[in-house]
């Protein structure tokens, strides 16, 4: 069986995860506009912000912006 393209390339996986996280952020923010309950809106917005933080962590890893990712 042939290996999937980029299978061993960390950059491929980081890029893929960042794109998926952004899709989820966009989905959460679209849903905020549809919700009537202010507490639910706050929860969805908070979830979007958490995912953006995680996406930033992946970007920092990829760009080696943080000391923890430099070796």
Q: Return d(Cα 45, Cα 23) in angstroms, integer.
A: 14
pLDDT, tens digit, 9 for 90 and up, residues 24-68: 999 999 999 999 999 999 999 999 999 999 999 999 988 887 777
The pTM for the full model equals 0.79
Q: Return d(Cα 20, Cα 32) in angstroms, integer.
A: 19
Per-domain boundaries in the chain? 12-63
Q: Return d(Cα 54, Cα 37) in angstroms, integer.
A: 26
Residue 19: Cβ within 10 Å count: 10
Q: Return d(Cα 66, Cα 48) in angstroms, integer.
A: 22
């Amino acid at each position: 069986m042939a290996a999937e393209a980029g299978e061993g390339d960390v950059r491929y996986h980081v890029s893929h995860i960042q794109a998926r996280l952004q899709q989820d952020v966009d989905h959460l923010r679209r849903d905020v506009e549809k919700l009537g309950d202010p507490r639910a809106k706050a929860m969805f917005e908070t979830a979007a912000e958490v995912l953006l933080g995680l996406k930033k962590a992946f970007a920092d890893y990829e760009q080696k912006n943080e000391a923890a990712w430099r070796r």
